[in-house]
Structure 1
Amino acid sequence: MTDTLPDLPFAATDTTRELVGWLSELEHERRMSPKTVEAYRRDALQFLSFLAEHVGGSVSLGILEKIKPADVRAFMASRRSEGIGSRSLMRSLAGTRSFARYLEKSGKGKVGALAAVRAPKIGKTLPKPLAAGAAKQLADVDIRAGETREPWVLARDAAVMALLYGAGLRISEALSIRRSEFPTPGKGDAITVIGKGNKPRMTPVLSQVVDLVAEYAALCPYPLGPNELLFRGARGGPLSPRIIQLTMERLRGALGLPDSATPHALRHSFATHLLSRGGDLRSIQELLGHASLSTTQIYTEIDSDHLLKIYESAHPRA
């Protein structure tokens, strides 16, 4: 993916060669996920494409050094006119600034205008966790008793839901677990998952979750070799995240849950419920695999809001 940049919307220059080197560094040295590298690639190309049209010619490294903050603001205004929100625009600038830092580090010039322009402000949106009872029900096979699906599929979906909530995993982390990496009943109570940036972390697994996974494995019609993926699709291949998302949509209808009840909401629920029961932020940070504690701290606001609602509903003078 990073060796070439086909179908460039502007003339290839020395900037293009540096772009290829930057993407290769992201992929091979910084070990970013393919999706993240592709997003950064797309963001940088959007910026360079705009500049090519804005300056009326190719965008060499020399041109990049000479751009002004007004040129960056013009790019932001152009993206705004296309209906791009603040969060997407901030991410776009982050990718482009990463490329600028690469150029400076490599001695190929400094794009000071990118650093001189403030990123757009983003309204704070808190994660929406599920109530503990609803999160547990998602792993109850009996909820889907009326569906004409094979028992092993229902058991598989229940096991995945229980794992997302019980261990706070991202859906990609859960679906990348191999059979030998997951404990069997009575033999182990933790797993090692590979999170963002290919960083491994260990997280405990509840015995109830281990039992549900064992029930699924016993029913699965496909051989689960030690080095093969644990969760399988209907035809035996890797289980797609989209299947779990569709399963959640059906369960939302059955349980009367809001649209915010997604597979990722189970991860939010895991963190929020741990915090409300006395878990400390640093431990929750480790369990979630957050690089920064500030990312985890958002759950304190959810917990405070929850406590305030309890107070307002229960206190006689509220």
Structure 2
Amino acid sequence: ILYYRDRDDKNIDIKMETGTGKTYVYTRAMYELHQRFGIFKFVIVVPTPAIKEGTKNFIQSSYAKQHFAQFYGNTRIDLNVINAGDFKAKSGRKNFPAHLTNFIEGSRQNANTIQVLLINAGMLNSKSMKKSDYDQTLIGGTTQPLEAIQQTRPIVIIDEPHRFPRDKANYKAIEALKPQTIIRFGATFPDVTVGSGRNRQVKKDYYRGEPQYNLNAVDSFNNGLVKGIDIFYPNLSEQQARKSWIVDKVSAKELILKQGDIHKTLYVGDNLSDVDDDFEGDVVYAGSKVLSNDLELSKGMILIPGTFQASYQEMIIEDALNEHFRKEQENFFRLNN
């Protein structure tokens, strides 16, 4: 981080599967960077208020504090959370929110404190953060929140990076903070289109062409970070199982299914039963590569008409419940070692 911070390739991508502990990892990363290099200003940017609340609850939880105290002693995170209502004028004065002021003015005097600002994308990109008419000045005499945060030269952590394409306003608001480094943690990353015509292709937009660390699904399972699952399918007759249609082409307005040499075209609003009578349940092509039952389509996907029957879907739910309680009973009566 320190070596690359003034270069174009200073930013870092950490790819982690869902459920493997991204929040834990980037929280511990802040402790580590503080312990090793004395870095104490971090901004965590999340896509939504709901995710912001989850991150806040984890960092402020007693169990997280106790856990990190085992490794970092008396070092603590001073978490400052910015919400939309924090910018409302009080007593006729327009001041910065208290949490924002606390983050910006936090100094190295308390060597055991890490200053963290937690904010969602909409709030960061809001007019309130860009206004300069506040009745208060901070570092260097600035009256604009974004400029004040710039002066702290923070490290920015992005959660759910696929929600922050680099050509969109929310990412540009992050760049406006002029961070030393941006570290993105996520299971998926935004797409970028390169080339044109026949050479046009869509690929993942990583900072340096690939993640600097990639915790994939197999490694996650082998390391015990996620649980394995059993997949159980109710039985279909052999004839039903073999009778499948393949998505040959799908666009915003058109869906083409094929079965051997047979091709069937559906347009927005057309019912799948027009292709095959076994497609039950009144499912239509809703357009934008989605069926009316919210199933997202892609080229090469296999559709089995028998699984669209209401009776089959009810069977799946019934069997899932029965299998769940069977497993619960099995676990309840197992012998303790």
- Normalised by the shorter chain, which TM-score bucket? under 0.3
Q: If the length of structure 1 is used for normalisation, what is the TM-score?
A: 0.25
Which structure has more helix as a fraction of its residues?
1
Q: If the length of structure 2 is used for normalisation, what is the TM-score?
A: 0.24
Q: Which has the larger radius of gyration?
A: 2
